[in-house]
Structure 1
Amino acid sequence: MASIYKRGATYTVNVSIVKNGKRVRKTKSGFKTKRDANYWANDIEHRKNNDELSAVFAPDITVPEYFGKWLETYKGNIKSSSMTVYLATLHTIERSDILSTTKAFKLTRARAQQYLNEFGSTHIRSTTAKRKTQLKSAYQDAVLDGFIKVNPFERTIVTGSDPKDNDLKFLETDDYLLLINETKLVPTVNNDIILIGALTGARIGEILALTTDDIKDGVIDINKTEQSATRTIDTTKTKSSVRLIDVPVWLTDRLNSSYQGRLFNISQGAVNKAFKKLQTKLEFKNIVSFHGLRHTHASYLLSKDVSIDYVSQRLGHANTAITMKVYAHLLSSKRLQEIDKTISLFDKGLQ
């Protein structure tokens, strides 16, 4: 920051700059007005910032190099789980025939679109959209920093295949209830984890982060999560993910009598493997991931006319709009049932 002070009838400006690797003070006096002094100080600060940025973002760096430097400069303090997603994007563009050798500040909108088309040819549309969002954000900073005038990802089109049928993400109701009974009757570490997931809809990381302090009388307190890659404890995915979930008292009694301290010492991969093995053993119609158990829990409650507000709170969604978006297909079928019931009431009343 520049300092400006009045000396006699004129103003003097002091600005700290880096010269030959050392921080020195640059001073200029004789400004007749404070406004003139501010203009000069702002110009020096602007040039200083550009020099510092240019030292980080060399003009001839490639797209992957720029994205990596951008992560270090502007995203250094984000959560490790979010950084993992950004690093996945970095690895993707490093392998891209289109972007790997392209100069970052000479990337055209047409070439950016070619990359999205290339990526979308092997990924679903939502994954391509995430890649575009991250790259567009990085290049928006390049615009703000004065390296380019136009963001090459502006108004590009997201491509990709449509996701598989949503029904495959859910267990059939009979299979879901069988799973609860099976894991309830056979108490093992894996079964307890699966049982908690089935009865709460909690994410696998949230369950693996649980301690006995989080197990109340008929309530499970979700207030942290385990990162899959490092198995370290971190804050929850969002603020709304911190929540209290009502469960049967027999479940909390079972957990409190079986565990001390942190409940589970097992990787997420091992749990997913055990869960799929159990589904195969029970001959389920659809084999789902552990996250599919979360969808099954919510779908079952909604199908039994549990209010969407309460289901949304159990899942830790910020609002019901998110729940409605995820379960739109189920809610749509429920709406058709309500329409039939309404028309039937009027038909009977008019007979």
Structure 2
Amino acid sequence: MSVFRNQNGQKWTARFRWRSGGKQYSISQTFNTKADAENWELEQKIQHLQGVDKKLTRFLWVFDKYFNTYKKDYLRKTSRDQWGYVRSKFKSFFGDDRTVQSITLDDYQSFLNSLNYELTHKTLLTIHRMISQVFDYSVQTGYINRNPTSLARVGGKKDRDVTYLNLEQIKKVLNYCRHGKFPAREGKSVQVGTPVLIEAAVLSGCRLGELAGLTWDNIDVEHAVFHIRRQLDTRNHRNPQFKELKTENSNRDVPVPTYLIDDMKKLHSPGDKLIFYTQRNLPVSTSSASRYTHRLLERLKINAPNFHFHSFRHSHVALLLANNVDIYAISKRLGHTNIRTTLQIYSYLMDEKKEQEDKKILSVLDNLGEQTND
């Protein structure tokens, strides 16, 4: 018997045996009730049939097998974390035990619909694409005959409108950050670093973590170049940790104006490891950068709804596009994997640029018509 009462008659023991590689293995566990012992034995049977019995194979087992085989060793930590997030969303809706064969088209659409008012369209689309890969793998490996994600419709909340600064506003921000009077860091003779951090964001287009993690050994002072090789985790400023960049292409060299380097030098105090510190001598965090950004815009009377620190990166791109900088050069400067990424993220700016260029085109064609009439 695989489930039996103990000799004292008060407990139940379940034993499960299986064979692997020509050898027999056995595990057992003791429970207070017979039902618990039988449920444990059944769970062990199902677990050992994962990938063997297609009808009993759970989706999360296939998810983990696909991730561990085809993704885990080829992704950076941020992307691996994203896969973990997608797995948790699927698990919270379907549970641990849902088999891959039992998920229908309607089931999957219901899963997406359940997230419509929680997540943005962009985030939901990412979840859909990842899970679709797992179902494609399930089809290719014979666990299922059809992909239940193929007809799905992806909703989600409208992505937050992106706000960026125009040229006049950028000049106002830079003038304030460069020449305004700011408090000194506690116990230091140098000013707080957040204004110059914003100046650096406007002039470099770098992400917050990339700037917050800058040290002088990553800056070519003579040629005024940022060597972006790592970033700081800005979510925990009391115990900051360096981490790898978002993508391999994020490793890049970013030329900046020499006056920015001069302004950064003024922030240095003996013992500093980083360049930018808050008034309390802490590394810049996401929350502190956000608060300072909102206060700065309010002080300068700049009305920019939905503006946050990352919007300085968008403002940087808008500034370059307005001055006819090539989109390929912008893409490399931003550290994007390819130019398509830049076009997708900044499509709204490209549309505005297209409208301006269309006017130029019509002007050229109109002049051409006038010349032929002569």
TM-score, structure 1 normalization: 0.74
**What secondary structure sits across from 2:115 in the alignment?**
helix
Residue 211 of structure 2 corresponds to which residue in structure 1? 207
Paired positions, count: 305
- Residue 227 of structure 1 pairs with residue 249 of structure 2: no
Gaps of 5+ in 2: 1-19, 27-46, 181-190, 277-282
Distance 1:102 1:284 in 2: 53
**What secondary structure sits across from 1:176 in the alignment?**
helix
Residue correspondence of structure 1 range 255-294 to structure 2 within 5 A: 255-259=264-268, 260-264=272-276, 265-287=283-305, 288-294=307-313
CA 1:131–1:337 in structure 2 vs 1: closer, same or farther (change >3 Å)?
A: same
- Residue 107 of structure 1 pairs with residue 103 of structure 2: yes
Of 308-317 and 76-85, more deviation after overlay is shown by 76-85
CA 1:249–1:53 in structure 2 vs 1: closer, same or farther (change >3 Å)?
A: farther
Say if 1:212 and 1:256, in contact at 8 Å, map to a contact too.
no
Say if 1:211 and 1:261, in contact at 8 Å, map to a contact too.
yes
Deviations 1:201-230 (A, max 9, x none): 111111112110122132112122233456
Distance 2:138 2:23 in 1: 25
Q: Choose between structure 1 and 2: higher helix proportion.
A: 1
CA shift, 1:53, in A, is: 7.6
- Residue 321 of structure 1 pairs with residue 344 of structure 2: no
Say if 2:115 and 2:124, in contact at 8 Å, map to a contact too.
yes
CA 1:234–1:164 in structure 2 vs 1: closer, same or farther (change >3 Å)?
A: closer
Give the counterpart letter for 1:273 in structure 2. Answer: R
Residue 196 of structure 2 corresponds to which residue in structure 1? 192
Seq. identity, %: 22
Residue 172 of structure 1 corresponds to which residue in structure 2? 166
RMSD: 3.3
**What secondary structure sits across from 2:21 in the alignment?**
strand
Say if 1:303 and 1:334, in contact at 8 Å, map to a contact too.
no
- Residue 183 of structure 1 pairs with residue 177 of structure 2: yes
Distance 1:336 1:258 in 2: 45
CA shift, 1:195, in A, is: 1.0
Deviations 1:79-135 (A, max 9, x none): 332233233323433443xx2477132111221012122323443322221111121
Give the counterpart letter for 1:222 in structure 2. Answer: I
CA 1:211–1:108 in structure 2 vs 1: closer, same or farther (change >3 Å)?
A: same
Say if 1:169 and 1:292, in contact at 8 Å, map to a contact too.
yes
Q: 141, 144, 147: which one pairs with 2:143?
A: 147
TM-score, structure 2 normalization: 0.70
Say if 1:215 and 1:256, in contact at 8 Å, map to a contact too.
no
Give the counterpart letter for 1:269 in structure 2. Answer: S
CA 1:239–1:101 in structure 2 vs 1: closer, same or farther (change >3 Å)?
A: closer
Say if 2:193 and 2:267, in contact at 8 Å, map to a contact too.
no
